[in-house]
Amino acid sequence: MTNRNPLARQTPLHTGFGPRTTAKEALDGRDLTGKVAIVTGGYAGLGLEAVKALASAGATVIVPARTPAKAQAALSGIPGVELERLELMDPGSIDAFAERFLAGGRPLHILIHSAGIMATPPMRDSRGYESQLATNHLGHFQLAARLWPALKKAGGARIVSVSSRGHQLGGFDFEDPNFTARDYERWAAYAQSKTANALFAVAMDKRGERHGVRAFAAHPGTIITNLSRYMTEDELRGISALNERGERVLLTYDDEFKTIEEGAATLVWCAVHAQLDGKGGVYCENGDIAVLTSAPFTPGVYERAVNDEDAERLWTLSERLTGVPFVV
């Protein structure tokens, strides 16, 4: 059984991987022939790089997109990729996608929650839910719930929830998750959604372990992709991600600042590597389990993002907000 003490769980394995490891290197020679994966956001940025790596190892990869025609160009030429339609802020779209997948009778071995938005202006979905919470967490919660029969059918599956060091900017506000009583602050909303991504992995793994379904949260590092489209020029300069021509590009690389190929490595490592066999409910970065930390803007995960009590509280709230009971 998995140790439910965050201090014990969050113990690095000293895997030999690190910040310069690429997604394909994180495969470590694994043959994924016969495996089926779903990667949300799999047509751009980190998700696309994860799709390339999984497909190169023989997996069949389903990429759901809001507009599959637009995604087609990015995925053209990658073998074993199937395009589908999905809008994470639309509960009906999530249900329809899951129903189509389940109707095919295939097991689901890998589910990567890579799609996301960051630091957006105030926006809400049709239910009135704040957009970053709705997209980054609630949509993925509902997706995993609907796909649960296929995950169990795999006889060994992994769910990877893409979190972020941004969780350190703020915790989860259980009293006002949708900013109805407090002023909206876009980075607080992002931090809340990324905290939710990490807590989801804790609660999901607790439920999935006895069915052979393990869950992980992954921090990819800081990578300049379309996710940064709402960042201001001043914010980009603050992280050395704006060159003299005004182009959005990292000027230096280190343990946190990475290329897209390096950023996708921890996602892929969590999804397939044998070093994590028998483990789950952990927050990972740089191709390893992260340490607990309380210092801001440092490697590691805050205890509040892997806390079992808060994970259970979020699970209950997510079922209520989505109206989807996650029966395992």
- Cα–Cα distance between 134 and 124 in angstroms, integer? 8
Structural element, H or E, at residue 131: helix 131-132
Question: Which residue out of 43, 129, 184, 190 is catalytically annotated?
Answer: 190
SS (H, E, C) 33-44: CCCEEEEECCCC
CA 211 to chain centre: 21
Q: Classify 160 as helix, strand or coil.
A: strand
Q: Is 230 annotated in the active site?
A: no
SS (H, E, C) the chain: CCCCCHHHHCCCCCCCCCCCCCHHHHHCCCCCCCCEEEEECCCCHHHHHHHHHHHHCCCEEEEEECCHHHHHHHHCCCCCEEEEECCCCCHHHHHHHHHHHHHCCCCCCEEEECCCCCCCCCCECCCCCEHHHHHHHHHHHHHHHHCHHHHHHCCCEEEEEECCHHHHHCCCCCCCCCCCCCCCCHHHHHHHHHHHHHHHHHHHHHHHHHHCEEEEEEECCECCCHHHHHCCHHHHHHCCCECCCCCECCCCCCCCECCHHHHCHHHHHHHHCHHHCCCCCEEEECCEECCECCCCCCCCECHHHCCHHHHHHHHHHHHHHHCCCCCC
Active site residues: 190
